[in-house]
Structure 1
Amino acid sequence: MNLSFCIIVKNEEAALPQCLASVRDVVDEMVVLDTGSTDNTIAIAQSFNAHVYSFEWCNDFSAARNESLKYVQGDWVLVLDADEVLVPEIIPELRQAICSPHHLLVNLVRQEVGAAQSPYSLVSRLFRRHRDIHFTRPYHAMVDDSVEAIVRHEPGWQIGYLPDVAILHYGYQASAIAARDKFAKARTIMEGFLANHPTDPYVCSKLGALYVEMGAKTRGLRLLEWGLQSIQNQSQIEAPILYELHYHLGCVYGEQNSLQAEQHYQLAVQQSILPKLKLGAINNWGNLLKEKGDLVGAKALYEQALEIDPALAIAHNNLGITLKALGQFGDAIAHYQTAIDLQPNYAEAHQNLGVVFLKVGRVSESLAAFGQAIALHEQTGSSEGDRLRKGLREMGFEL
C-alpha cells in the first residue's frame, strides 16, 4: 500500500523541518499546500522533495485540507500539522494498519506536549483515499463526519485505532499559542461555524472550553451546558464529545461547586473511550477529593491514572502530596523523585520534595530541592520563588 503525506502550511520555517524529517522515510510522497508563506517554508518543503502547491487562504482549515487531498496519489493518507511529528516507534504498527483491507480510518493517539491537562487526544489523521472522504469544520478540521456517512452506506468498512502514541504535538505550549495568537484565530472561526450550527455539541465543547481559557467563564459555562443539552437530544450520542463536555464542565465547576464538578468528572470517566483520553478527568477528580480530605479516594484515582500512564508526571506529584498527607513519607519521596525524573523542570515537584525531606530531617537534601525549585520559579518569572526564599529565611535557612 502506498502512503501519501499531506500538510497545509504558512510561515512554518522553524517547525517544518522536524515534521517532514519524521515522515520522509515512511511515506511514498509528500504533498505540501502553502497558504501564503513569506518565509523559507516553501524552500524547506522543496528540499525534502515534497510536491508544493499554493492555495489562497479563506479562513477555513477544512477547505485548505480538502484542496491538499486533490493532489494525493497514494492508497492511504497521513495528515500532520507543522507543529507535530510522527513518533518513530509507531511506524511498524502504522504500516501494518494500512495493509488491512477492511479499515477506512485508523485513529491515532496524539500526545499534547506541554499541556497542563489532558495530555492525550485521539485524532483522525490516517485514512484510506476514498472519493467521499473529505474534511469538514473550519477550525478543528476532521474527516470524521464524512467517514461516518460512508460507513452508514457501506457498512463493511471498519474504523480502528493504534493504542500507542503516534504523534507528538507541540502547538499547545504557551509560547506557541502566544506567538500565533492561536486563541483569537480559533475563536473567530468557531464563532462563525456556531452561528450556522447552534446545536452542534462538538463546537459547543471546543468553543466553550476556549471561552473559559480566555477568561470568559460565564459565557463558556453557558455554551458547555447548551452543548450537553444538545447532545442528549441526539439519537446517537458520541462518547468522545460527551466526555469532553463533562470534562470541561468539571473544570469550570471545580472553582465554584466541587460537588457538581465531581459529578461531571465521574460521568466523564464512565464514557467508553480510550483510557489514555480520560487522564485529565481522573487527575482532576483526584484533586477534588484531596482538597475535601478524602485522601484514600484521591490516592486511588491517582494510582488509576498511573496505571494507565506510568509516565504522567503530574499524577506522580499529586500522589506524592496525598501520600505525604497520609504520613507515608518514603513513598511520597519516591513519587516526587519520579515526577522530577520524568520532568526535570517541574518546579512544584522539587518544592514538594523539599518539604517532605525537611519533614523527615534530611535537611541538606531539602535545601538542595528548595534551591532547585527557586531557580526554576525564577526562570519562569514566578513570584513563588521569592515567597519560598522568604519562608525559608524565616525558618533560619538562607538560600
Structure 2
Amino acid sequence: MLRITLSIITKNEEAKIKRCLDSANVIVDEIILVDTGSTDNTKQIAIECGAKVYDFPWTGSFADARNYSLEQATGDWILVLDADEYLAPGSADAIKEFISGPPAIGRISQLSNYLDNGEIRYESVPISRLFPKGVYYTGSIHEQVVSDLPHRMTSVTVYHDGYFETDKTGRNIPLLEKELQKDGNNPYLLMQLAREHKNKQDYVQADYFFSQAYLYATKLEGYYPKLVVEYLYNLMKIGKLDTGYTVIQAEQNQDQLSNFPDFHFALGMFYMDYVLSNTAAHIDKLPRIEASFHKCLELGDRKEFGGIIGAGSFLAAYNLGVFYEVIGDHKKAVEYYHFSAEHDYQKAKERLSSLING
C-alpha cells in the first residue's frame, strides 16, 4: 500500500493552517510541517491536527525549507501544499488514481481568486505538487522541482486565497532580485519580478522586466504563453499599444499561443483599446475584436493550460455582447449576454436585463 506524505512549510499561518490540514487528512498518511519562525499558534494547531512539526531557521530560500521537509518524509509519494491552500472535494480519489500509475511529477490545478477592477476573478494555474519521494527543489523563490520524471496533469484541484487582498511584494521582490544577481538573463525570474511590480501597480517598472523576460525567453518555456499575455496586458496599462501590436504580430501564429484561450481574450481586449486609441487609423482592426472573442469560445476553457476562468466561455461571451451592443446589433448582444448569464456572470445578467427592458 503506497503511503502519502503531506509536506508543508509555514510561518504565522494560524488563521488558515487547520483548513489546509483538514482538507488533506482524508488522503495523506503523514503530515510533515516545517516551521520557519512562527510567533503565533501555527505549530500548536498543526500538532492538534496530527502533524509532525519541525523547526527550520529561515535561510532566505524557500527551496531550502521545502527540501528539509522532504528529507523528513517517510511516504512513497509527496503532496506539497501551502497553508493558504486547501484540497477541493474529490481530490482524494484523483490523487489515488494518479499515484497508482507510473511514476511522474503530478501537476495540479491551483485555483486562485483575485480582484480585477472591483470584480472577483479566478485563475487556474497548473503547478507541480505531487511526486514520488526523491524529488527535490531549487530556487530561493518560486521554487521549481528537479527531476527527470515526466510532468503529467492530474485532476486534482486546490483552492488558493493567499494573494486575495494581501500584499506579498515586500517579501518577494528582494528575494527575486537576489536570485537575478546570480542569473540576470533568466526569463522566468524576470517574469516573476515583472508580475510583482505589476501587482504593486508599478506598471512602468513591470514593463522593463516583462520586456527583458520576453527578450531572453526561447519561446519553448511552458510559461511562455502566460508571459506574452501578461506582457500585453501591462503594455495596455501604460498605453504602449504600438509595442503591443508588434508583439501580437510576432506571436499570433505560435503553436503554444494559438490554442491558449487567454491569448485570444487578450487580443480582443487589446484591439478594443487599439481601435479606440485612434479610430480613424485603426478602424480596419474592428473585426479582430469580434474574431478574437469568437476564437475564445471555439477553444473553450482549457484547464490543462491554466488561465483566467471564463476566458473561453462567459467572459468572452460577455465581451461579445458588449461589442454587438456598441455596433447596434442588439439581437446578437442579447444572445451572448444570455450565454454569459447562464454561467451566472452578474454583469451579463445586468446588461441582459437592461436590453430586454428597453
Length-normalised TM-score, structure 1: 0.74
Structure 1 residues 219 and 307, CA gap change in structure 2 (3 angstroms): closer
SS in 1 for 2:269: helix
Structure 1 residues 75 and 168, CA gap change in structure 2 (3 angstroms): same
Do the aligned partners of 1:187 and 1:207 also contact (CA within 8 Å) in 2? Answer: yes
Measured after TM superposition, the shift of residue 118 of structure 1 is 7.4
Per the alignment, residue 172 of structure 2 pairs with 186
Structure with greater Cα Rg:
1
Measured after TM superposition, the shift of residue 115 of structure 1 is 5.7
Unaligned runs of 5+ in 1: 152-156, 364-399
The separation in 2 between residues aligned to 1:268 and 1:97, in whole angstroms, is 35
The separation in 2 between residues aligned to 1:262 and 1:25, in whole angstroms, is 50
- Give the alignment partner of residue 296 of structure 1, picking from 282, 285, 290: 290
**Higher RCO (C-alpha under 8 Å, 6+ residues apart):** 2
Per the alignment, residue 108 of structure 2 pairs with 108
Q: Number of aligned pairs?
A: 329
The separation in 1 between residues aligned to 2:195 and 2:253, in whole angstroms, is 18
Do the aligned partners of 1:9 and 1:34 also contact (CA within 8 Å) in 2? Answer: yes
The separation in 1 between residues aligned to 2:128 and 2:309, in whole angstroms, is 24
- Give the alignment partner of residue 162 of structure 2, picking from 171, 179, 195: 171
Measured after TM superposition, the shift of residue 185 of structure 1 is 0.6
Per the alignment, residue 192 of structure 2 pairs with 206
The separation in 2 between residues aligned to 1:65 and 1:37, in whole angstroms, is 16
Measured after TM superposition, the shift of residue 271 of structure 1 is 4.9
- Give the alignment partner of residue 251 of structure 1, picking from 233, 236, 239: 233
The separation in 1 between residues aligned to 2:292 and 2:223, in whole angstroms, is 26
The separation in 2 between residues aligned to 1:172 and 1:271, in whole angstroms, is 31
Per the alignment, residue 124 of structure 2 pairs with 120
Structure 1 residues 268 and 142, CA gap change in structure 2 (3 angstroms): farther
More helix as a share of residues:
1
Do the aligned partners of 1:289 and 1:297 also contact (CA within 8 Å) in 2? Answer: no
The separation in 1 between residues aligned to 2:224 and 2:351, in whole angstroms, is 39
Per the alignment, residue 384 of structure 1 pairs with none
SS in 2 for 1:49: coil
Once the two structures are superposed, residues 143-176 of structure 1 have per-residue CA deviations (whole angstroms, 9 ceiling, x without a partner) of 1xx21xxx2xxxxx432121x45211111212xx
Do the aligned partners of 2:94 and 2:156 also contact (CA within 8 Å) in 1? Answer: no
Do the aligned partners of 2:321 and 2:335 also contact (CA within 8 Å) in 1? Answer: yes
Do the aligned partners of 1:286 and 1:301 also contact (CA within 8 Å) in 2? Answer: no
State the one-letter code of the partner of 2:297: E
SS in 2 for 1:36: coil
Q: Is structure 2 residue 70 aligned with structure 1 residue 69?
A: yes
Measured after TM superposition, the shift of residue 14 of structure 1 is 1.0
Q: Is structure 2 residue 144 aligned with structure 1 residue 161?
A: no
Once the two structures are superposed, residues 68-124 of structure 1 have per-residue CA deviations (whole angstroms, 9 ceiling, x without a partner) of 1111001110001011111222332321211223x2311112112236477111111
- Give the alignment partner of residue 338 of structure 1, picking from 331, 334, 342: 342
Structure 1 residues 200 and 307, CA gap change in structure 2 (3 angstroms): closer
Do the aligned partners of 2:77 and 2:133 also contact (CA within 8 Å) in 1? Answer: yes
- Give the alignment partner of residue 129 of structure 1, picking from 129, 133, 137: 133
Unaligned runs of 5+ in 2: 276-285
Do the aligned partners of 1:333 and 1:356 also contact (CA within 8 Å) in 2? Answer: yes
Two-structure CA RMSD over aligned residues (Å): 2.8
Structure 1 residues 300 and 258, CA gap change in structure 2 (3 angstroms): farther
Structure 1 residues 244 and 268, CA gap change in structure 2 (3 angstroms): farther
Per the alignment, residue 281 of structure 2 pairs with none
Q: How does 1:20-31 map to 2 (within 5 A)?
A: 20-31=21-32
Measured after TM superposition, the shift of residue 316 of structure 1 is 4.2
Length-normalised TM-score, structure 2: 0.82
Per the alignment, residue 373 of structure 1 pairs with none
State the one-letter code of the partner of 2:182: N
